[in-house]
Amino acid sequence: MRRARLKPNGIPMFYHLYNRVAGEPEFFPFGATEKEKFIRLLHRVQKFFAVEVLAYQVMSNHFHLLVYAPEEAPSPAEVVRRYEDYHDGKRTISIDDPLCVELGQRMRDISWFMHALQQQFATWYNHSRSSQRRGALWAQRFKHTLLGEAEAVWACWKYIEMNPVRAGLVKDPGAYRFSSYGAWTGKGSHPFSDNLQHRMLPILQGLYPYSTLQQVYSALQHTLVKTRDRMTAHGDDLSESLDMLDRRTTYWVDGLVIGTAIFVRDIIARSNGVLEHRDGWSPTYTPDEFETPSMMIYNAPRHI
């Protein structure tokens, strides 16, 4: 029997969300059409949910999201607005409707957010094949990593945007258009700029003297170039460098909580027994990955 997901109540939270398709690792079913559809659905689902998308990466057989889940559910008036906007005014709901409270709780929940996104995409994908496809599209329950402190969020964002470089698809992550950074590079504005302005910029100001999104873009561009150059600094064999980097960054998918020791212990205390102190801790991050070598990874069995 699988356990409940780790979604601490009473505090806002940044998450890294990830899933991949069913099938062999060499199965790459998503082309440009599928990736574009996924991104359009991501924007549509964002209209309904209070979970805020900060970054995304859509690859040929998996995806990554960086999101923020608010501490509280939206107000009844906000629930009504989101509900009716999402349904283009074709459905209405009253503030006094008991369903309003339930919908409000769903709107801030990453599980409901991912359920809507993955189900809508899978339905479209199965029905759009030349011979109608049946069966599960996704290989498993989506994975989620709780991110504490600005440094963990910033490092995760860099990891997400470097995926097409690690996959050998592009040399410059800005050239990959199925990602938030690629869209930002190509169009000059972030696809979820309001979310970035209200959520990402304030926490990054605790680390760096950024006051505008353009400064954030420039800093991200600079650090992604440095990361790319570091990947090939020890030789010309890019595939070997990429393979080594992949092995070193699996904690972004396999880690359950990433943050300072204080943050991790707080999450354990809030988990109501879902996590236990004896589950796996890993050493502090390496200095070349994090600027503050005090971040910890909490690895727990992935039935959570």
The tens-digit pLDDT sequence of the chain (304 residues) is 455 577 877 789 999 999 999 987 788 999 999 999 999 999 999 999 999 999 999 999 999 999 999 999 999 999 999 999 999 989 999 999 999 999 999 999 999 999 999 999 999 999 887 666 667 899 888 999 999 888 889 989 999 999 999 888 999 999 999 999 999 999 999 999 999 999 999 999 988 889 999 999 999 999 898 888 877 665 445 454 445 445 456 778 877 888 888 888 888 888 776 666 555 555 455 445 555 556 777 775 555 5
Task: Please report the pLDDT score of residue 290 as a whole number.
Answer: 54
List the chain domain ranges: 13-72+108-299
Structural tokens at position 294: 């005090």
| SS3 state of residue 85 | helix
Q: What is the DSSP letter of 127?
A: H
Full-model pTM: 0.89
Strands 13-20 and 257-260: unpaired
Taking every pair of Cα atoms in the chain, the longest distance, rounded to a whole number of angstroms, is 65
Whether residue 145 contacts residue 252, with contact meaning beta carbons closer than 8 Å, is answered with yes
CATH number of 13-72+108-299: 3.30.70.1290
- Beta carbons within 10 angstroms of residue 140's beta carbon: 10
Helix locations, 162-204, DSSP H: 163-166, 180-187, 193-195, 201-204
